Amino acid sequence: MKRQNFQTVDLIQTATAREFNNLVLEAEGPIAVEFMSYSCAYCQALEPVLQLVAEKVGTQVKIFRVNIAVDPELAARYRIEATPTLVMFLSGQPIGRAEGPHPNFSTLLAAVIEPFQS
């Protein structure tokens, strides 16, 4: 019998505008934020791959999502023009960005971890 891989735990926490400073800007260590919308087909396609990336990086990189439909002020602050867009933060500063659909695991993993390698 073929084993099916069901993701039952959401490894990506949602960050609202109210929590963003505490969770992202004031937090220590590498952080990746996916700016997305639940109505975005590309975001839906990206979700299972991003969950796998979150599983792979574990605690090395914290990954959050921001729903731009709920928090458009965050989208405006970080000049999000299309979804999905990933912005990587270190010490409260954006240090990397990946825009558009990246449904390939290797491409997405590289987009998340490369900005933190120096």
Span 12-23, pLDDT tens digits: 999 999 999 999
Task: Identify the CA nearest to 62 among candidates 14, 7, 118.
Answer: 14
pLDDT of residue 27: 95
Q: What residue type is 45 in one-letter code?
A: A
pLDDT of residue 102: 73
pLDDT tens digit sequence for 51-97: 999 999 999 999 999 999 999 999 999 999 999 999 999 999 999 99
Give CATH superfamily name and number for 13-116: Glutaredoxin (3.40.30.10)
Residue with the bigger pLDDT between 29 and 1: it is 29
Rounded to whole angstroms, how far apart are CA atoms 58 and 56? 6
The pLDDT-based confidence of 1 (bands split at 50, 70, 90) is: very low
